[in-house]
Amino acid sequence: MTLARALLSFAPVLPPFYDTLFAAFAFILGACIGSFLNVCIYRMPLGLSVNEPKRSFCPSCKYQIPLYHNIPLVTWLVLRGKCANCGGRISFRYFGVELLTGLLFLAVWLKVWTWGAPGWPPQAWVLALPYWIMAALFIVATFIDFEHFIIPDEITIGGTVAGVLLSFAIPTLHGHESNVAGGLWSLVGAGVGFGALWLVVQLGKMAFGKKKLTYEKPAPFTWTRRDQEADFIVGAEAMLWSDFFYRGNEQVLMQCAWLEIDGERFENAAVRCECEWLHLDGRKWELVKTDVIRGEVTAVTFPREAMGFGDVKFIACIGAFLGWKAVVFTIMSASCLGALIGVVTIAIGRREWSTKIPFGPYLALGALLWLFVGPELVRWYWMLTFPPA
């Protein structure tokens, strides 16, 4: 099937009534699932339960929203993006996630509702369930990564486990009839994805593993603990302490003109920090028991990564659902998309925009491209590059 025919296959052609009914159900189901995904996107990064409280609540006044004010898509439009209780603004993201989920569920249904189209099993519609689950995971991962620059383990590791189990149950997910073969190929896909990006992380660590900043005039810094996290501010740069410790064995080195640890002052101090400890002149402080560190630095060396380890686990999830070929396509297409966005932002004088976009959304978009048109794109590109004699 050529790329043009693949794209045309999605065009509506006055389907029978039951086709329209199933398609409408897919969209409505997706919008309802999107309402729950909004709960996950808001609560998971904050460490809140997605089950308690069971009802959604207003981010401003914490009012628990009744069912008649929690109708997907409709409520946001009727209330004009405001809370019915306090009138506070409700982000457009809530409406957007519901709409996006509905459209993705509909697109997946149109993709699999083929009844024996070339390259698909006779009852390919059963693939809607795993693809819907995968799309939901992608949406949560994308929006959390955009806002918090993390992808929770519940999405990456949980998604990988779900992909493997679904592949055992529905082996046609990987083009096999044997349940064992489907599950094993899912494990291969997860392993290839994890191994490929893990290698990128290791090579990136070797090439770009440290970033050193020096200051002609000592720059102020503060380290402020809040629960199990800490805010670290050096000059005009504000960071999270956990951002430096993907593996847990990294170190932050600081040459301080002066340093104050919970009120105890030191002059001309060379400081070595681990994730949980600060070392100075043979002494060490446990950071979880330290409230505030402040001072002025003349030089600071940060560890840094080519990408976050959450991306490594995320590509394993993608491989578990879509297989090793999709992993290769996803990594290549995500890299191309990232490079394209970088070029565009530089061209319009907004280079800082691209530096604020994490890699997880690119991976999710690359995987969706594979799901809908990936094999056709590969065949089209291959025929274009190596035309038959």
String of DSSP letters for 229-292:
EEEEEETTEEEEGGGG-SSS---EEEEEEEEEETTEEEEEEEEEE-SSEEEETTEEEEGGG--E
Kindly list the distances between the CA atom of residue 227 and the CA atoms of 230, 232, 241, 277, in Å, as whole numbers in the listed order. Answer: 8, 14, 12, 15
Query: Cα 47 vs. chain centroid, distance in angstroms?
Result: 17
Weakest-pLDDT range from 45-59, 70-84, 320-334: 45-59
More confident residue, 302 or 253: 253
Is the pLDDT score of 352 beyond 70?
no
DSSP string, 297-312: EEEEEEE--SS-HHHH
219-238 confidence digits (pLDDT tens)? 999 999 887 788 888 887 88
In what helix (H) or strand (E) does residue 213 lie, and over which residues does it extend?
strand 210-226
Q: How far apart are CA 262 and CA 274, in angstroms?
A: 18
Model pLDDT, residue 193: 93
Give how many domains the chain has, as a whole number.
3
Among 303, 324, 356, the domain boundary falls at 303
Q: What is the average per-residue pLDDT within 329-347?
A: 86
Both 14 and 102 in a single domain? Answer: yes
Both 200 and 219 in a single domain? Answer: no
Q: How far apart are CA 368 and CA 137, in angstroms?
A: 12
Which residues, 6 or more positions from 77, have their beta carbon under 8 angstroms from its beta carbon?
95
Both 154 and 255 in a single domain? Answer: no
Range(s) of the domain holding residue 286: 210-303
Percentage of residues in the chain having pLDDT higher than 70: 87
Is the pLDDT score of 245 beyond 80?
no
Is the pLDDT score of 66 beyond 80?
no
For residue 9, the tally of other CB atoms under 10 A from its CB is 15
